[in-house]
Amino acid sequence: MRDYIHTVQYYETDKMQITHHSNYIRWMEEARVDFLAQMGWPFDKLEELGIVSPVLSVNCDYKLTTTFPEQISINVKVKEFKGVKLFLQYEMKNKDGKVVCTGITGHAFLNVQGRPIRMKQDYPELYDLLTTGTK
């Protein structure tokens, strides 16, 4: 999988010209959407199948500041997946290869009624891809 590249936008910075901390969580969302699309499971496909994937938890550990217009490379990996909850880990690096932020997000896979989906039985291809990503 290729890393997701985000260019820091001017509006994402604060009065000190440093990226506001809340944006890193948005970048994780962008990278997660890209990660799933690269796997062949873009969000529009998930939604067409009636799958929703709410965020259950977010952890973000800031290491270095970023500024406009830096390009940030975001690597996404499956940290853990056992069929019900998916945990993704993120590593964000600047152009010099220095880690600027790490994070973990937790997600569930639910149907549109809000009930958990039996991923292994109902969507074995996606289940296999996510399970393989944990090894």
The confidence score (pLDDT) of residue 100 equals: 98
CA–CA separation, 56 vs 97, rounded Å? 30
Rounded mean pLDDT, 2-25: 97
This prediction's pTM: 0.94
The confidence score (pLDDT) of residue 84 equals: 84
- The token pair at 82 is 């056992």
- Sheet with 99-108, strands from edge to edge, namely 4-7, 71-81, 85-93, 99-108, 55-62
Neighbour-count burial for 76-114, b at 16+ CB within 10 Å, e otherwise: bebeebeeeebbbbbbbbbeeeeebbbbbbbbebbeeee
The confidence score (pLDDT) of residue 39 equals: 94
The confidence score (pLDDT) of residue 134 equals: 58
Q: What are phi and psi of 85, to 5 degrees?
A: -110, 140
> Does residue 88 carry a pLDDT above 60?
yes
What's at 81, amino acid-wise?
F
CA–CA separation, 4 vs 133, rounded Å? 17
pLDDT tens figures, 95-105:
999 999 999 99
The mean pLDDT value of the chain amounts to 95
Domains and CATH numbers, the chain: 4-132 (3.10.129.10)
> Does residue 135 carry a pLDDT above 70?
no
